[in-house]
Structure 1
């Protein structure tokens, strides 16, 4: 299954590794229904459709699964459903009603200042459920923490894990419930423990390359989590910069005044400011975030423009 730390995936799994604006897409094109896991951000939706069309070579896409409903994981759902109208879409439990009624506030798109075209959900991925992907039986496991509704997909025979944003090779996703004032660091720890018990040989993460040294990745994730638990302000600052950087990935370049206006208008930044940084005036805090992105090499200033790097 692995050679050293270089993972070898089964031939029926194709991973489209995307940039950080879009989550990775995992295509199962072997036996059984052709299935895609996660669909990327809406600005890359046409590219997602083209990648899938090319890989399937005339075969229809029959199922779409989402590990969770953050905009970078489901932003291509709508266009995929338009391209293949019979596509069955399964989402994690907990937000089915919000998708059915299309509530972009409850689904986090308005609070994060991101976008996602409305899509249809046909059913849910329930923890404890099993489903066939590429001729193998995969298990659905709960993965709360980064997102309270997230799930993992695990194939126990070859021990392949689709981890979403619960585990990357060098960390995990922002713990969004913490931004909302709901403690979730314990849930991150529990999800990491659950992954350790599954003992995957190969992990297909939501972002970054497929990796095989899972114990090392878990050790790094736990160290990072311990730092956040010890200093919640560190996580809050990290979350704020990640959200701004993510939007800058979409913009690529933007007038600094427009970036600051977006910060002031985006509810998650107001929540972070009120909860963790209220000693600074909102304008000063917003400018500090921009300065920290530039100082860290994640952006640069070109006159009145803020530019992605």
Structure 2
């Protein structure tokens, strides 16, 4: 089986952080029931030499992150009793889609953990409003209505931009939970000038329910013709990208400069067309 072969290869060849990542997610990837482990089993599985090492480990994929990715609430509580940091930032997994400085709560939401794991982290003093270097919070990365409910119960701040995250990556039910909590579907980002509908159209190909979410946003008065208009320092990022494309040529630039050069003035329809999402367009 592909997952098992991947884990065996990483166990033999490394890197250790990737081995721990796939091992922690193994039950989820194989649709198996998750089991809480003894301390000895946890240390053996994730290659920690001792409990003291697990508590001290400051690597990006440390013991706390292993427990979060594997959905192990009991182990999180044991780690907290040993004074492990529940607000540690992730490091070194950018090539797997989990970016540096994302918090334990962000990892829990993004990896679609059960809401009870979020509640356990919050009970253990995880910061509900902790931000990554990109300025986003766990609420932005919510993947279910239950995530939204738990985070708001613990007084998560709810800037309107969180709706763009849910619209882009989560389900219509998650978007509805934020709309019910009074997020504004018509809101435009202060820096990028982008709306939730812009975000959905841009990232919709990775969201199987994008069309349903788009209809929900439109039912809540999202402007189908709202164009992204970057402002402040963000405008300079796009200007530099356009200059780079103009100097080196479209085909000679990487994906990100081309994307940044294309966004100013683009409407949701243009975003959908740019990424090739025919159903949404």
- TM-score scaled by length of structure 1: 0.28
Over alpha carbons, which structure has the higher Rg?
2
The structure carrying a bigger strand percent of its residues is 1
The structure carrying a bigger helix percent of its residues is 2
- TM-score scaled by length of structure 2: 0.30
